[in-house]
Chain A
Amino acid sequence: MAISTVSTTRTPSRFRLLLGEGGTFTRRNPTLVAGGVIISFLALLAIFAPLVTRYDPIALDVVNRLKAPSSEHLFGTDMMGRDLFSRVIYGSRVSLMVGLSVAAIATAIGLVIGLAAGLVRWVDVVVMRVMDGLMAIPSVLLAIAFMALAGSSIRNIIIAITIPEIPRVARLVRGIVMSVREQPFVEAAIAAGTKDIPLLRRHILPSTINPLIVQATYISASAIISEAYLSFLGAGTPPEIPSWGNIVAEGRALFTIAPGAVLFPSIFLALTVLAVNMLGDGLRDRLDPQMQRSLR
């Protein structure tokens, strides 16, 4: 009994660590706060897209095609008369969904593989060789090949982008397990006869959480870029769903006379990725100072 109360108070909780001491938080973590605020704002726009926009993002209105930005159409209209503001706002749904899903799935699968590789010798030998091979294949090209075989749908994009991210998580987790196992407190626990599962739950898993939060944030930034690339190249989101990459790809041909269809989604895309990366940098400085040196 006594032991469990002691162990809950021994270190500041993750929540406390993240929030720091009240009002100084923003001053100490400007990138974290700025990134978080921008992402929250974009997420709200995406969730409340039907309330924010006045037009159906896929409704054709050929009479009003290629209109310049005005109070009627904030970002103008595209070559089929569709309202660009609506399309860009609805497009954020695809990006944020892909970013979140890829980060969550890649982290979960990578965590399991990394733990297994760190603890079980034959898994390490076999699976990590496969992971090395997977990491040698340029990720966007691998995703293009997968999409060419599987056909275009949001589900397939998420799979295509997740696969190349898994080895990065697995390697990170494996590295952490390897170094934690050497720690005196873990050796003591093993010597005291702690079984594998409690050892994992009590000593190894907790050390992976902070680096994984940081890594997942970076993965979602790179997943958002990958989705935009795939859609831009015609191997991504189905053309009937507005996504930033799709809007840019459609606007490409008329870029010289109507640059809005390319520039507005591009600005949103860059801002989103920047905000997620800032969030990642902020979280890294806050949660995982040792990771400073490795970039991704």
Chain B
Amino acid sequence: MLAYAVRRLIATIPVLFIVAVLIFMLLHLGPNDPAAVIAGDFAQPEHIERIRQQLGLDQPLYAQFFDWIWRVLQGDLGASIYNQQPVLNLVLQRAEPTIALTLSTISFAVIVGIPMGVLAAWKAGSIVDRVVMVLAVTGFSLPVFVLGYILVYVFALNLQLLPVQGYVSYKDGLVPFFRSLVLPTLSLGMIYVALIARMTRASVIEVLNQDYIRTARAKGLSTPPILLIHALKNAAIPIVTTIGLGIALLISGVVVTETVFAIPGVGRLTVDAIVRKDYPVIQGVLLIFTVVYVLLNLLVDLSYSLFDPRIRYQG
């Protein structure tokens, strides 16, 4: 198992390297002078020149790249133009609300999406299946802020059940913490629920057509154990893969959700950076989110061996 894990970890290095090259090249492929972009709109020419030298932009491209990647590996993602703070510190300061929102959304989506998909697969073709699939298409089509504002309008403004916006840290009480997460989680999670429900339905239906399911029925097992033990476990790999890939949607959605609900997380940091044209912050967030995404999908890859022991022994 350890050898397998190490092999998978090594396999992500080329992807991460290409990601680093792409993110680095973004700054140089654009139509504008990188030093001028980083210096911001109102910079004096001498300021731009100073940044050019400071960042080594007068060096050859390959030298710049290896210099940059060396600093990134040491945790130096550059500094904000707006307040000169190291980007990594800025992100870490804002990490708590984003992690809380992401974890609650993943839990919500898994807890709702998988049973919905199993139910639809079990009752395939029935009215229950139809309803689930219509909900899934609708959920998939509702942009995060659309659902967010509709929920705020109904539950916060009209019914006054939940706060309109803001984030309460878990350190300031668990009840206000969860209350502040309900609407953001629902808005961000719906698209993810839809994705997971659709994939679960498709893979469970496929498994239910297999011979060993017929055997399980023939030996007298009732439907719930068949669904839960035989079908779901064997359908797990595509479902878990979808959960992993769906995190990309989640990352994009987090930025929007934090804006709708005025949550002071990494997404909000990104939006403030857009307004201030603070490119080093945007680049740093992009890099961190991408690395997190790749590593989470590595975990997903590793989890395959829990569902299918054969994977551990293969190359």
Contacts and interface: CB of A to CB of B under 8 A. Distances in A.
Interface of A: 129-130, 132-134, 136-142, 144-151, 221, 225-226, 228-229, 232-235, 248, 252, 255-256, 259, 262-263, 266-267, 269-270, 273-274, 277-278, 281, 292-293, 295
A269 B143 contact: yes
A255 B146 contact: no
A147 B290 CA distance: 18
B121 to A, nearest CB: 12
Contacts, number: 147
A133 B12 CA distance: 10
A30 to B, nearest CB: 11
Contacts of A295: 195, 198-199, 242
Contacts of B277: 148
A274 B202 contact: no
B192 interface: no
Contacts of B141: 221, 270, 273-274, 277
A141 B285 contact: yes
B296 to A, nearest CB: 11
29 contacts: A129-B14, A132-B18, A136-B290, A137-B19, A137-B23, A137-B290, A142-B286, A144-B282, A145-B282, A145-B283, A148-B274, A148-B279, A150-B30, A225-B143, A229-B144, A229-B145, A229-B255, A233-B256, A233-B270, A233-B271, A234-B271, A252-B260, A255-B152, A259-B157, A266-B143, A270-B141, A274-B137, A295-B195, A295-B199
Given A130-B22, A293-B202, A141 B145 contact: no
B70 interface: no
A130 B15 CA distance: 8
Contacts of B242: 295
B125 interface: no
A149 B248 contact: no
A277 B140 contact: yes
Contacts of A136: 15, 19, 290, 293-294
B251 interface: yes
Given A129-B14, A262-B149, A141 B283 contact: no
Contacts of B21: 133
B32 A149 contact: yes
B24 to A, nearest CB: 11
Contacts of B153: 259, 263
A133 B14 CA distance: 9
B138 interface: yes
A263 to B, nearest CB: 7
Contacts of A133: 15, 18-19, 21-22
Interface string B131-159: 00000011011111110011011000100
A183 B204 CA distance: 29
A281 B198 CA distance: 12
Nearest to B144: A229
A230 to B, nearest CB: 9
Given A134-B22, A137-B290, A259-B153, A232 B270 contact: no
Interface string B145-178: 1100110110001000000100000000000000
Contacts of A229: 143-145, 252, 255-256
A262 B143 CA distance: 13
Contact of B149 (A137, A234, A259, A274): A259
